[in-house]
C-alpha cells in the first residue's frame, strides 16, 4: 500500500541524525524541504537520474557517513547503470530509497515501467550474490541498501509557491536565513 511521500519523508527524518540526504528532481525536493529542511539535505532540483551516482560518490568519499538517497522510479530508470556500479563497489553506508509513484510525476505523470512491478525487484541487483543466494546471511560483507517504497505524491504545493521554496532552500544552503 502506498503512503503519502511527504509523510514518509517526515518519518524518515525523525530516524536520522546528521546523515546527508540527497533528493532528486522537483517533487522529492519539495517534499523533503517541507518535511524538514536541514543543512545535511542536498536538493538536486533538475538532475533527473543522477542522485544514485551522487550518493555513491559521497558514500565512497565519506565511508564514515551513512548516506541516504531519495530517488524517484522514473528518475532511476534514467540511470540504471548506476545500480550495476553500486552493486560492484558495494558501499555499506549507502541507503538508496526509490519513491515509486509509477509515473514520471514531475514531467506530467506519464506511466513508468515500474507501474505494476513487484516491490523490491530492482533490489535484486544489489542484494543477490552471483550464485543467486541472498546476501543477508551473517557471513556476507555489508552491502548497500536499496528499497522500493510505493508512495503517492500530491500537488499540494501551489505553482506560485514552488519558486519561493526553491529560493528559500538555495538561500539556506548559502548560509542565509
pLDDT digit string (tens) for 141-155?
577 888 888 888 765
Here the CATH number for the domain that contains residue 16 is 3.40.50.970
User: Residue 61 and residue 69: Cα distance in Å, rounded?
Assistant: 15
User: Residue 154 and residue 151: Cα distance in Å, rounded?
Assistant: 10
Beta strands in the chain (DSSP E): 3-4, 21-24, 41-44, 67-72, 94-100, 103-104, 110-111, 145-152
DSSP output for 111-151? EPTTTTPPTTTTTHHHHB-TTS-BS-STTSPP--EEEEEEE
For residue 30 the three cell numbers come to 519539495
Task: Say what the pTM is.
Answer: 0.76
- For residue 1, the 8-state DSSP code is -
Q: In what order do the strands lie in the sheet with 67-72?
A: 3-4, 145-152, 94-100, 67-72, 21-24, 41-44
The domain of 48 spans 3-173
Number of domains in the chain: 1
pLDDT digit string (tens) for 99-158?
888 776 777 777 777 665 554 444 444 444 444 444 444 445 577 888 888 888 765 554
pLDDT digit string (tens) for 46-77?
788 899 999 999 999 999 999 999 998 888 88
Amino acid at each position: 500500500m502506498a503512503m503519502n511521500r511527504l509523510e514518509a519523508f517526515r518519518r524518515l527524518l525523525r530516524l536520522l541524525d546528521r546523515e546527508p540526504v540527497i533528493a532528486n528532481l522537483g517533487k522529492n525536493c519539495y517534499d523533503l524541504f517541507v518535511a524538514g529542511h536541514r543543512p545535511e539535505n542536498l536538493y538536486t532540483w533538475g538532475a533527473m537520474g543522477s542522485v544514485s551516482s551522487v550518493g555513491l560518490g559521497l558514500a565512497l568519499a565519506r565511508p564514515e557517513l551513512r548516506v541516504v538517497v531519495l530517488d524517484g522510479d522514473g528518475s532511476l530508470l534514467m540511470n540504471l547503470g548506476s545500480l550495476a556500479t553500486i552493486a560492484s563497489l558495494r558501499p555499506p553506508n549507502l541507503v538508496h530509497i526509490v519513491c515509486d509513484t509509477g509515473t514520471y510525476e514531475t514531467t506530467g505523470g506519464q506511466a513508468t515501467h515500474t507501474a505494476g512491478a513487484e516491490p523490491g525487484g530492482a533490489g535484486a541487483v544489489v542484494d543477490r550474490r552471483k550464485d543467486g543466494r541472498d546476501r543477508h546471511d551473517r557471513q556476507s560483507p555489508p552491502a548497500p541498501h536499496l528499497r522500493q517504497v510505493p508512495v503517492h505524491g500530491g500537488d499540494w504545493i501551489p505553482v506560485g509557491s514552488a519558486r519561493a521554496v526553491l529560493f528559500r532552500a538555495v538561500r539556506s544552503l548559502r548560509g542565509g536565513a
